């Protein structure tokens, strides 16, 4: 049976590194065959050798040579990818490995908020069970309001991609991880911290919002990973496997 796993998160959270680290772990521990997909038109080099690379169609570098700035280049690249999505999906669907790992563009909004991500995942998930992995970055999640954002984005990911979504905190080798863990252990502390930082209407809004997040996130298990040290790869496999079981795709 084949599975597809799509990695996404804010710029620099470790999508490319974790895609590779997890793929190599699957190869070694499960003796699985892996196809890596690069969907980032802006990346210069990838640690893995892609089985399909969207840079065959467009690169931001080329668009910038033609006169666009980095952001204009990314937007134009996203439009070109969207125009060619049928061909791209066919290429991905023609692969036959145990796991197809999909690495997404640096800018989360290009994949998630425009049509690229939802259309791609709708298509490829028709052929094999698909899970998304939302990667939190301690650089964002180690402040109280940053963690509120980091807990919200996986919910938005689930809403947009319509496939089971699991969350990880990557870069667990970094010292900021302790602060994130403290907040996660006690969401109440997180609410209090935000209320202390903000007063009046915003403080009130923040604490109600945290309450809402608490309700929606209570069954969510967030695992720690490090693409650098390899920590947490088996935990990541466990939650991905559980997510596939929940949607009835895996026995």
Ligand X SMILES: Nc1nc2c(ncn2[C@@H]2O[C@H](COP(=O)(O)OP(=O)(O)OP(=O)(O)O)[C@@H](O)[C@H]2O)c(=O)[nH]1
Question: Which residues contact ligand X (rule: CB under 6 A)?
Answer: 11-17, 40, 106, 170-171, 173-174, 226-228
Piece of the chain touching Mg ion by CB under 5 A; list 16-24, 55-63, 137-145, 187-195: 16-24
Q: In the set 4, 8, 10, 16, which binds Mg ion (CB under 5 A)? A: 16
How far does Cα 196 stand from its chain's mean position?
31
Q: Give residue number: closest CB to ligand X.
A: 106
What order do you get walking across the sheet with 3-9 strand by strand? 52-53, 34-38, 99-103, 3-9, 130-136, 165-169, 222-224
Question: Smallest distance from the beta carbon of 105 to ligand X, in angstroms?
Answer: 7
Residue 77: CB partners within 8 Å, gap ≥ 6? Answer: 41, 42, 58, 59, 60, 63
Alpha-carbon span 115 to 94, nearest angstrom = 22
Give min distance, CB of 149 to ligand X, in A. Answer: 16
CA distance 139 to 69: 26
Rule CB under 5 A: choose which of 7, 9, 14, 15 binds Mg ion: 15
What are φ and ψ of residue 53, in 5° steps?
-130, 120
Interacting partner of 70 out of Mg ion, ligand X, none (Cβ under 5 to 8 A depending on kind): none
Smaller CB distance to ligand X: residue 133 or 210? 133
Taking the least distance from each CB to Mg ion, the nearer of 50 and 118 is 50
Distance between CA atoms of residues 187 and 180, nearest Å: 10
Closest approach of ligand X to the CB of residue 192, in Å: 29
Binding partner selected for residue 143 from ligand X, Mg ion, none, CB under the kind-specific 5 to 8 Å limit: none
Q: Of these partners, ligand X, Mg ion, none, which one is at the site of residue 227 (CB under 5 to 8 Å by kind)?
A: ligand X
Residues comprising the chain, all counted: 251
Binding site for Mg ion (CB under 5 A): 15-16
């Amino acid at each position: 049976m084949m599975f597809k796993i799509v990695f996404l998160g804010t710029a620099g959270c470790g999508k490319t590194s974790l895609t590779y680290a997890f793929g190599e772990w699957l190869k070694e521990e499960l003796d699985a065959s892996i196809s890596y997909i690069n969907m980032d038109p802006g990346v210069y080099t990838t640690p893995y050798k892609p089985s399909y690379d969207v840079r065959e169609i467009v690169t931001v570098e080329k668009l910038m040579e033609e006169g666009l700035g980095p952001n204009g280049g990314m937007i134009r690249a996203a439009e070109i990818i969207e125009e060619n999505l049928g061909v791209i999906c066919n290429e991905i669907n023609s692969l036959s490995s145990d796991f197809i790992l999909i690495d997404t563009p640096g800018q989360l909004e290009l994949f998630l908020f425009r049509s690229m991500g939802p259309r791609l995942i709708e298509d490829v998930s028709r052929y094999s069970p698909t899970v998304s992995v939302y990667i939190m970055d301690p650089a964002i999640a180690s402040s109280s309001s940053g963690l509120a954002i980091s807990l919200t984005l996986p919910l938005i990911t689930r809403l947009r991609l319509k496939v089971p979504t699991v969350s990880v905190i990557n870069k667990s080798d970094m010292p900021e991880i302790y602060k994130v863990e403290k907040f996660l252990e006690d969401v109440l502390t997180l609410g209090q911290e935000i209320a202390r930082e903000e007063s009046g209407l915003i403080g009130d809004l923040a604490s109600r919002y945290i309450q809402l997040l608490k309700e929606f996130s209570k069954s969510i298990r967030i695992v720690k990973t490090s693409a650098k040290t390899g920590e947490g790869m088996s935990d990541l496999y466990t939650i991905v496997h559980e997510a596939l079981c929940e949607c009835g795709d895996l026995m």
